[in-house]
Amino acid sequence: MNSLRIAVADGIVISWRNLKRVPRIPELAIFAILQSIMFVLLFAFVFGGAIPLPGGGSYREFLMPGIFVQTLAFASVTTAIAVADDMTKGLIDRFRSLPMARSAVLSGRTFADIVYNIGLLIVLMLTGLVIGWRVHSGVLDFIYGVLLLLFFTYAMAWIGVFLGLSVPTVEVAQQLGFLVIFPITFLSNAFVPIETLPAALQPIAEWNPISALTGAARELFGNPNPFASNSFPGEHPIFMSIVWTIALLAVFMPLAIRKYRAIDR
Amino acid sequence: MAVIEAEGLVKVYRSRKSDVRALDGVDLDVQEGTVLGLLGPNGAGKTTAVRVLTTLLRADEGRATIAGLDVARDAQAVRRLIGLSGQYAAIDENLTGRENLWMFGRLYQLGTHDAKERATELLTRFDLEKAADRVAKTYSGGMRRRLDLAAALIGRPKLLFLDEPTTGLDPRSRLGMWDVIRTQVREGATLLLTTQYLEEADALADEIAVVDQGKIIARGTADELKTQVGGERIEVVVHDRDLLERAAQLIAPDGSASIDEHTRRLTVAAEGGAQQLVDVVLRLGEEQIRVDDVGLRRPTLDDVFLALTGHAAETAPESEETAAPTTAEGESA
Ligand SMILES: Nc1ncnc2c1ncn2[C@@H]1O[C@H](COP(=O)(O)OP(=O)(O)OP(=O)(O)O)[C@@H](O)[C@H]1O
Ligand SMILES: [Mg+2]
């Protein structure tokens, strides 16, 4: 169909321009990576010794999947900032004045984010390998795990788009992003086993999508995965991360699209 | 045939604190191949009108058509016909000038090869060849403006909307921009342009519509408007404030001179042109009234407003001005 062809072609052009941003402002990617590496160093070498893993195992191998999920979650802030920037600079208006596929601005954006996040993930995995992280499962499980992470990234990108379209300035996008992402990554099993958290916070951490994704990645990569208690999400992290990702997409994709369509109000 | 038509456009920006009636019943029509200048002070509603006509903003009331196509219902078809250069340059700062044009060409549905050729052609035409492969972040304000206009022309649109195309340009770049705009018109484009300068509307537009507080308060050719305003004026700055009244009597016995006590300035319409100026100077000389300054000047937007509305073209409180993109400040080519 012709309109589908245009939608794909325009989406690719938009993805291209979003990805061009990465080498043109290398600081963005470099800081994202440095921030994650800082977390790796902090937890692996500073706090790591003091964090007991129920059931044993290497803390560094436990840590890396948490770092992957945290970094990918933070990437949604990068998305929000870029979208807010396009809004305030009038670029979105320019796109809207062109006879291009309406879907392309958002589909191109979120597709570019996946590509960018694949790059981030590769760098992080290499970092992990350097400090002693290993995959102990089979190739298929590994690929399954990576796909789950990318699927999650896709949902996070839509949250980023929604945020970016909703805020008045880039600075607000940035602050709001950190305000949301920091607490939810810390109220999870990303850095510490859930049973080391205060009892009152444990249920929150168990049902946290970050915990589900981290748990799923640990399971599929064959890393230590001491998910606390006999809670349902703790026992089914893969199932829970699929449910969570679909739920986030089901909520934020329509919200973002509606927001985008309502720009002409 | 009118290719741009609008009837009773109303747009109200609603916010918690107050509602702004940016368009308050605007009727417009622009004939094919002509240039309409929307002239108005800050906050008059020019940008809002352009945004409605270019499908970016939905009007609350009224309707507008471009070549017979409704801007709200047939937005996509309208976009195939128009080129827009907004008030603030909307270009991707992280792409080069060439990449920007290529991208907009592709999104205008040109083939990739076509888009490339068109980009090169426009870069040459807009004197951006040397900077073509530099990221747009490094462009001066004038270069951004030109790149933005080039982007508007990428698909060879029949209809062009230019929102204050020369604001922020130095005098030489402004003349260059005028040339480019005139070329487009010569090649058959229909153009709607907004400006705050009567002089610019005069130079470029076949017809001028004066906008104030969301309404069109006058329409006509530049000459017609100037006649309404009364052509040129004579301005005299009297040295001694006590003699202001006396001097006003001398230069305009009918009492038509306007007096600004604070600046000691007298203004009077000068149908008689230079000869009338000479007469005024002679009369003042005879009475030995000392003057600090005297001269003939053309009517400005202020005069037009004063004449049409009875109030000066005051600038509406501009809350969004400060939040506007930084590209507007300190520009020069
Ligand atoms: N997004 C918005 N939200 C609220 N009010 C707005 C918005 N955009 C414009 N306005 C208000 O609507 C009125 C008309 O604005 P508009 O931008 O159309 O004026 P303009 O004639 O283009 O002015 P300028 O010469 O300063 O560009 C102004 O009072 C302005 O403050
Ligand atoms: Mg404006």
Between residues B325 and B311, the one the model is more confident about = B311
Task: Clarify whether residues B223 and B239 are in a common domain.
Answer: no
In a domain, B163, yes or no: yes
What's the length of chain B? 333
* Average model confidence (pLDDT) across chain B: 86
- H-state helical runs in chain B: 46-53, 75-79, 97-107, 112-125, 141-153, 171-186, 198-204, 222-229, 244-251, 273-286, 301-309, 319-323
How much is the average pLDDT of B232-248?
A: 85
Residue B301 vs residue A166, higher pLDDT: A166
Tell whether ligand 1 has an atom less than 6 A from the beta carbon of residue B85: no
Tell me whether residue B281 is in a domain.
Answer: yes
Which residue among A21, A95, A99 places its CB closest to the CB of B94?
A21
Task: Return the pLDDT at B216.
Answer: 93
Most confident of A32-36, B27-31, B254-258: B27-31
Q: How open is the CA angle A103-A104-A109, to the nearest 5 degrees?
A: 115
Rounded to the nearest integer, the mean pLDDT of chain A is: 91
- Count the domains in chain B: 2
Query: How would residue A1 be classed by pLDDT, with cut points 50, 70 and 90?
Result: low
**B27 is a domain residue:** yes
Q: Identify the pLDDT of residue B331.
A: 38
Q: Is residue B148 part of a domain?
A: no
Which tops the pLDDT comparison, B316 or B173? B173
Confirm or reject contact between A56 and chain B (CB < 8 A): no
pLDDT band at B318 (very low <50, low <70, confident <90, very high): very low
Answer whether A98 sits within 8 Å of B107, measured CB to CB: yes
Neighbour-count burial for A189-214, b at 16+ CB within 10 Å, e otherwise: bbbbbbebbeeeebeebbbbbbbbbb
What's the pLDDT score for residue B255? 78
What pLDDT shows up at residue A107? 95
Do B70 and B162 belong together in one domain? yes
Q: Which of B49-53, B67-71, B306-310 has the lowest mean pLDDT?
A: B306-310
Angle at B170 between CA B165 and CA B176, to 5 degrees: 60
Which pLDDT value is given to residue B314?
Answer: 53
- Chain B nearest-CA distance from A125, in A, is 29
Number of residues in chain A: 265
Chain A residues 84-103 within an 8 A CB cutoff of chain B:
88-91, 93-100, 102
The answer on B221 and B259 residing in a single domain is no
d(CA A227, CA A235): 7
- Does B75 lie in the same domain as B6? yes
Share of chain B above pLDDT 90, in %: 52
Question: What ipTM goes with this model?
Answer: 0.90
B132 within some domain: no
User: What's the confidence (pLDDT) of residue B288?
Assistant: 84
Q: Evaluate whether residue B304 is within a structural domain.
A: no
Residue B135 lies in a domain: no
Q: What is the pLDDT of residue B317?
A: 43
Structure confidence at residue B311 (pLDDT): 61
**Which band of pLDDT confidence, cut at 50, 70 and 90, is reported for residue B312?**
low
For residue B26, pLDDT over 80 is answered with yes
Torsion angle of alpha carbons A27, A28, A32, A38, nearest 10°? Answer: 20
Model confidence at A227, in pLDDT bands (50, 70, 90)? low
Contacting residues of B for A17, CB less than 8 Å apart? 92, 95, 99, 103
Among the partner residues A13, A90, A97, nearest to B79 by beta-carbon distance: A97
Per the structure, the complete domain to which residue B181 belongs is given by 2-81+158-227+312-322
The shortest CB-CB distance from A90 to any of B90, B95, B323 is to: B90
pLDDT of residue B105: 96
Residue A229 Cα, gap to closest chain B Cα (Å): 49
pLDDT band at B316 (very low <50, low <70, confident <90, very high): very low
Are B43 and B71 part of one and the same domain?
A: yes
Mean pLDDT across A176-188: 88
Q: How confident is the model at residue B207 (pLDDT cuts 50, 70, 90)?
A: very high
Q: A23: nearest CA in chain B?
A: B94
Q: Which atom of ligand 1 is nearest to the CA of B41?
A: 25
Is any Cβ of chain A less than 8 angstroms from the Cβ of B126?
Answer: no
Write down the pLDDT at residue A80.
94
Q: Span A159-176, mean pLDDT?
A: 92
Structure token pair of residue A112: 């570019």
Report whether pLDDT(A83) > 90.
Answer: yes
CA-based nearest distance B332→chain A, Å: 19
Q: Which atom of ligand 1 is nearest to the CA of B315?
A: 26
Residue type, B23: L
Q: Which chain A residues are within 8 Å of B58, Cβ to Cβ?
A: 264-265
For residue A13, the chain B residue with the least C-alpha distance is: B103
| Radius of gyration (C-alpha) of chain A in whole angstroms | 19
- Give the integer Cα–Cα distance in Å for B37 and A105: 32
**Mean pLDDT across the stretch B162-171?**
89
| Shared-domain flag, residues B15 and B60 | yes
Same domain as B293, residue B162: no
| Helices of type H across B211-261 | 222-229, 244-251
Instruction: Determine if the pTM surpasses 0.90.
Output: no
Distance from residue B45's CA to the centre of ligand 1 (Å): 6
Question: Does B167 lie in the same domain as B54?
Answer: yes
Please give the Cα distance from B221 to B214 (Å, whole number). 20
B111 pLDDT band, cuts 50/70/90, is very high
Tell me the per-residue pLDDT of A86-135, one tens digit each, with 9 for 90 and over: 999 999 999 999 999 989 999 999 999 999 999 999 999 999 999 889 99
* Three-state SS annotation for B10-38: EEEECCCCCCEEEEEEEEEEEECCCEEEE
CA dihedral A209, A213, A215, A221 (to 10 degrees): 180
Rounded mean pLDDT, A140-155: 96
- B13 assigned to some structural domain: yes
CATH number of the domain that B265 lies in? 3.30.70.100
Which numbered ligand comes closest to the C-alpha of B13?
1
Q: Per the structure block, which two tokens stand in for A224?
A: 């230590």
Spatial separation of the C-alpha atoms in residues B26 and A208, rounded to whole Å: 53
Residue A48's pLDDT is what?
73
